[in-house]
Amino acid sequence: MAQSGFARNEQWNGWLFVMPALILLGLFMIYPILWSLWMSFQVGRGMNFSFGGFNNILRLTQDPVFIRALTNTLTFLAIQVPIMLILALLFANALNDSNLWGRSWFRTAIFLPCVTSLVAYSVVFKSMFAQDGIMNQMLMALHIIGDPIPWLADPFWAKVVIISAITWRWTGYNMIFYLAAMQNIDRSIYEAARIDGVPAWARFWYITVPMLKPVILFTTVISTIGTLQLFDEPNLITNGGAPSDSTLTLSLYIYNLSFRFMPSFGYAATVSYVIVVLVGILTFIQFLAARDRRA
């Protein structure tokens, strides 16, 4: 009995220690999630809303701005994430070579953008890709183009600028994960393959990449989540989705619905759950594609 009472006391003491964290978690995470789920079924403007059932879901299918924001977001996801992860993998493989001169400097230089101030680097990119910015001046000086490219005024080039900015900022972040994983691979595997005459590209493709599979899956999932939540770069570089909403993303549209237009909190909550559903579906597909296929 005494032992049982002591065990119960330890259990209660454990709950008392974690209770403040659980209260904060419930107050600032679980409660907002449940509230937003309830709000997604509300219709109305401002604080005058009422239960509308599935009206907001039906509204999604008839909203051209939502369709454009969804298309833009998926375009950024399909183009930028593969480019960024491939570059990160190639940089990590190159910088894992112990014979490379100045590799510590290169590692720092490539990783530095992800700790740079978001506002500062967005302003720099906006200035670089302006009509009279350094990019146009450089391309014209090299006689690659004859007239300035309207980087921020043309829908296609505006997307190129956003993709370039995100890739510049986050490639080094993913590179660090790959580099850390590569340094845990037994060097004797590479030595054996080199002695057997396996070329460098084959060692990379058939040894390095398979052994980095869990890390590649992890970076793919977090990059997918981050791109689906893309907000800052379109807001700061292209002034909130310009030109003609060509860089408008789902997160930016949620912000507009809540704060820039006449507030429609219920519909904004519904759009936010589109991101949740997309994250769930794409993550499931990525885990399914990355699982071991054994006979």
Q: Would residue 157 count as lying in a domain?
A: yes
Residue 216 has pLDDT above 90, yes or no: yes
* pLDDT at residue 5, as a whole number: 61
Instruction: Say what the pLDDT of residue 200 is.
Output: 87
Q: Can the peptide bond before residue 214 be classed as cis, meaning omega within 30 degrees of 0?
A: no
Residue 49 has pLDDT above 90, yes or no: no
49 domain residue, yes or no = no
Reply yes or no on whether the pLDDT at 295 is more than 50.
no
104 and 240 in a common domain: yes
Phi-psi region of 239 (alpha: psi -120 to 50; beta: other; left: phi over 0): left
Q: Are residues 20 and 152 both part of a single domain?
A: no
| Separation between Cα atoms, residue 81 and residue 89, nearest integer Å | 12
**Looking at the predicted structure, is the pLDDT value of residue 145 above 80?**
yes
Q: Do 8 and 105 share a domain, yes or no?
A: no
Residues 6 and 141 in one domain: no
CB of 235 within 8 A of CB of 252? yes
> How many Å apart are CA 103 and CA 200, to the nearest integer?
19
The residue to which tokens 């909130």 are assigned: 240
63 within domain boundaries: yes
E strands in the chain? 42-45, 48-51
Give phi and psi for 73, each to the nearest 5: -60, -45
Containing 176, the helix (H) or strand (E) segment is: helix 155-182
CATH of the domain at 203: 1.10.3720.10
DSSP state letter for 27: I
Phi, psi torsion values for 125, nearest 5 degrees: -65, -40
Kindly report, residue by residue over 62-89, the tens digit of the pLDDT: 999 999 999 999 999 999 999 999 999 9
pLDDT beyond 80 at 8: no
Do 147 and 265 share a structural domain? yes
Does one domain contain both 180 and 102? yes
Is 80 exceeded by the pLDDT of residue 276?
A: yes
Cβ atoms of 65 and 245 within 8 Å: the answer is: yes
Structural domain boundaries enclosing 162: 58-290
Q: What's the pLDDT tens digit per position in 241-272?
A: 888 899 999 999 999 998 888 788 899 999 99
Burial call 79-91: b when 16+ CB within 10 Å, e when fewer: ebbeebbebbbeb
Task: Give the pLDDT confidence score for residue 51 in this predicted structure.
Answer: 84
Which pLDDT value is given to residue 275? 95
More confident residue, 5 or 284: 284
Residue predicted with more confidence, 47 or 207: 207
Q: Is residue 280 part of a domain?
A: yes
Mean pLDDT of the residues in the chain: 89
User: Of the candidates 16, 130, 232, which has an alpha carbon nearest to the alpha carbon of residue 241?
Assistant: 232
Does residue 193 sit within a domain?
yes
189: in domain: yes
- pLDDT of 229 > 90? The answer is yes
Percentage of the chain exceeding pLDDT 90:
65
User: Which pLDDT tens digit goes with each residue over 84-112?
Assistant: 999 999 999 999 888 888 888 999 999 99
Q: Are residues 124 and 32 in the same domain?
A: no
Mean pLDDT within 222-226: 94
Residues sharing a CB contact under 8 Å with residue 221, sequence separation 6 or more, in sequence order: 283, 286, 287
Q: Are residues 33 and 136 in the same domain?
A: no
Reported pTM: 0.88
The count of structural domains within the chain is: 2
Mean pLDDT across 11-15: 81
Q: Are residues 13 and 147 in the same domain?
A: no
Are both 72 and 142 inside the same structural domain?
A: yes
Residues 6+ apart with CB under 8 A from 92: 175, 176, 178, 179, 182
CA-angle at 71, arms to 114 and 256, nearest 5° = 70
Residues 12 and 66 in one domain: no
Asked, for residue 187, whether it belongs to a domain, the answer is yes
Same domain, 185 and 121: yes
46 occurs within a structural domain: no
Among 285, 107, 292, 294, residue whose Cα is nearest residue 213? 292
Confidence of residue 4 (pLDDT cuts 50, 70, 90): low
CA distance 293 to 133: 51
CB of 88 within 8 A of CB of 172?
yes
What values do phi and psi take at 45, rounded to 5? Answer: -115, 145
